[in-house]
Amino acid sequence: MISSQDAITWIAVISAIILSIYFMMESMRKPKEPEYETMEILECPKCGYTVTKEFEPGDFIGMIKGKCPKCGTPLIIKAIYEVEKKNEKNLKTPNNL
Amino acid sequence: MGLEMAETDWASLIVQIFWLLFFILLFTGANQKIQMKLWSMDIRNKLRIIYKYFNDDEDKVKNLLKNLGVASPELLFKRVLDFFTIQPVDIEPTDIIKRLDHLLRTSDKSFRRLVASYLPGIDRYERSLIETSLSIVAALYMVYKIIRHYLLLGEKENNWILLMQLELVMPQIMRIVETYHKALDAFTTGKPIGDGVGPLVAYRLIELGEVVSRRIVEETSITELRLDNRRYIIIKAEGPGSNVGHPGAVLASVIEDLKGGVDLVVTIDAALKLEGEENGEIAEGVGAAIGDPGPEKIAIERATTKYGIPLRAVIVKMGLAEAIQGMRKEIYEAGERTVEYIRRLVKELTPINSTVVIAGIGNTMGIPG
């Protein structure tokens, strides 16, 4: 028969072990960092047509790249910036489920 | 009786052994040795991660160099990784800025010459990207070497205070190292970084105005234009390569050329935000917003003080990661807002037909002009 004092001691020992493991795992866990993708916005200086594309190495703001599909004027890179990559789960909206 | 003991006293025996061990460890100092071992194991693990980052980045840049025709990039790496600049004597402050400026410029030129000697046929744009990429790899290697030095020293001398300090500072160092490691991607591909928000604002102002003249001095562009019925002189690093130019020295020479005939000087720069502040927050103040070691900043302060020209600063706040990695959307948008902010500020502070000098401070990679 285990006395109540022994039971308390056992509970304390087991709790201490569980807590130690929990804190160790907690300290090892790393928060997930967001991933980014680089986009560039191309703009037609004549008709204002804009298109967003993925950044290609060597591109820079103000660079002439491609032609406007509407008026044929050379397109200019207006902006280059990074946006957070969207999670697969987040992309599912009620409409496309 | 023995059976009784087996049934009842196991738990108290464990507790007694625990206390006995506890006191033995406490009085022999072995607990401190265990703690030191744990710290050094943790530091060693983190050091391995730093070395992995360095190795990965080194391989990446070596491949880049091989693609550009460098047969043995190892030789270049050997010279670049241990390249150093000795700080000037500071117990004698006379002309320290001149000496520091001289050393920084010499260091900069020597580093560029060294890289150029291995890449003779390459254009300036690509060479600037390689130079900065090499600097990142060298910085990671330096951090690795310093951490390894203190770890080995702490272990050798049983210096638990040294190991404890290192252990406590490691999370901060790891964050900086990871930021540098991730920044390499932007520098190998030439995309604008957060620090480029100053040059971006300057470039947008050039786009908006009616350009009168443009010249390049010390890898820094000076563009004169008319905008909002005022004469604007825009100073920024020459782009679109990875370049910060010498905006301070150039701004001072522009003011001297105009014999102080300037009504307002505004510097725009990216500034590290405090924890809790938002990325892309705009703030204005007084002074020279430029984060150089000293010579550029003091040149702006001296020139504006000499002629009594109001010196204003506009900053865009961001974290270290946002500053040296690819420009995030919120920083880009803040840059666009800053253009309007500057125009409003200039209209508020100067009458029509005034001369205003605007300096967009920062790395202009991916931004021309």
Q: What is the pLDDT along chain B (369 residues), one digit of tens a residue?
A: 454 555 557 777 887 888 899 888 888 888 888 999 999 999 999 999 999 999 999 999 999 999 988 888 898 999 999 899 999 999 999 999 999 999 999 999 999 999 999 988 888 899 999 999 999 999 999 999 999 999 999 999 999 999 999 999 999 999 999 999 999 999 999 999 999 999 999 999 999 999 999 999 999 999 999 999 999 999 999 989 999 999 999 999 999 999 999 999 999 999 999 999 999 999 999 999 998 889 999 999 999 999 999 999 999 999 999 999 999 999 999 999 999 999 999 999 999 999 999 999 999 999 998
Long-range contacts from A67-76, C-beta under 8 angstroms, 24+ separation: A68/A44, A70/A44, A71/A44, A71/A46, A71/A47, A73/A44, A73/A45, A73/A46, A73/A47, A75/A42, A75/A43, A75/A44, A75/A49, A75/A51, A76/A42, A76/A43, A76/A44, A76/A45
Query: Residue A36 and residue B200: Cβ atoms within 8 Å?
Result: no
Domain match, A72 and A49 both: yes
Q: How many domains does chain A have?
A: 2
Q: How far apart are CA B23 and CA B29, in angstroms?
A: 10
- Residues from chain B that touch A38, judged by Cβ atoms under 8 A, are 191, 326
If asked whether residues A62 and A46 sit together in one domain, one would say yes
For residue B81, give the nearest of B136, B135, B131, B138 by alpha carbon.
B138
Q: In the predicted model, is pLDDT for residue A97 greater than 80?
A: no
A40 and A10 share a domain? no
3-state SS, residue B69: coil
Select the residue of A38, A58, A63 nearest B326 (Cβ to Cβ).
A38
Contact B284, B310 (CB under 8 A): no
Nearest CA in chain B to A63: B368
Q: How far apart are CA B130 and CA B121, in angstroms?
A: 13
**B166, B342 contact by CB (below 8 A):** no
Question: Is B7 an interface residue toward A (CB < 8 Å)?
Answer: yes
Domain around A1: 1-30
Q: Say how many CA atoms lie within 13 Å of B120 toward its Cβ.
A: 2
- Taking the Cβ of residue B11 and every Cβ of chain A, the question of whether any pair is shorter than 8 Å is answered with yes
Cα-based angle B279, B280, B283 (whole degrees, multiple of 5):
115
pLDDT band at A6 (very low <50, low <70, confident <90, very high): confident
Please, where in chain B does CATH 3.40.50.10900 lie?
A: 194-360
User: CATH no. for residue A65?
Assistant: 3.30.1330.30
- Residues of chain B found within 8 Å of residue A36, distances taken between Cβ atoms: 325-326, 328
Kindly determine whether residue A59 and residue B366, on different chains, have CB atoms separated by under 8 Å. yes
Q: Are residues A26 and A42 in the same domain?
A: no
| CB < 8 Å to B7, chain A | 1-2
What was the pLDDT predicted at A2? 64
Whether A53 and A25 share a structural domain: no
Chain B residues with CB-CB distance to A58 below 8 A: 189-190
* Interface size, chain A vs chain B, as Cβ–Cβ contacts under 8 Å: 73
A40/A81 same-domain check: yes
* Whether the Cβ atoms of residue B231 and residue B356 lie closer than 8 Å to each other: yes
pTM of the model: 0.87
Nearest to A36 among B12, B200, B326 (CB): B326
Domain match, A40 and A8 both:
no
Q: What is the pLDDT of residue B244?
A: 95
Distance from CA of A62 to the nearest CA of B (A): 7
pLDDT of residue B239: 85
CB within 8 Å: A62 and B189: no
Residue of A57, A62, A81 lying closest to B328 (CB–CB): A81
A interface residues, B as partner, C-beta within 8 Å: 1-3, 6, 9-10, 13, 36, 38, 55, 57-63, 79-83
A42 located within any domain: yes
Q: Would residue A12 count as lying in a domain? A: yes
- Within-domain flag for A92: no
Which among B10, B12, B332 is the nearest to A79, CB-wise?
B332
Give which of A36, A82, A85 to mutate to test B binding, by max B Cβ within 10 Å. Answer: A82
Instruction: Identify whether residues A44 and A61 lie together within a single domain.
Output: yes
On whether any CB of chain A is under 8 Å from the CB of B209, the answer is: no
Q: What local confidence, expressed as pLDDT, does residue B4 receive?
A: 53
A80 to B191: CB separation less than 8 angstroms, yes or no: yes
Q: What is the DSSP letter of B299?
A: H
Per-residue pLDDT band for A88 (boundaries 50, 70, 90) equals: low
**What is the SS3 assignment for B311?**
strand
Nearest CA to CA, how far is A89 from chain B (Å)? Answer: 22
Residue of A nearest to B326 (CA): A82
Same domain, A51 and A25: no
Distance in Å, alpha carbon of B231 to nearest chain A alpha carbon: 23
Mapped onto helix, strand or coil, the DSSP state of residue A31 is: coil
> Among A25-29, A33-37, B76-80, B193-197, which stretch is predicted with the lowest mean pLDDT?
A25-29
The H or E element that residue B220 is part of is strand B220-227
CB contact under 8 A, A10 and B11: yes
State the complex-level ipTM: 0.86
Whether residues A56 and A77 share a domain: the answer is yes
Residues on chain B touching A62 (C-beta within 8 angstroms) = 203, 240, 367-369
Are residues A47 and A63 both part of a single domain? yes
User: Domain B194-360's class?
Assistant: alpha beta
Q: For chain A, how many helices (H) and strands (E)?
A: 2, 4
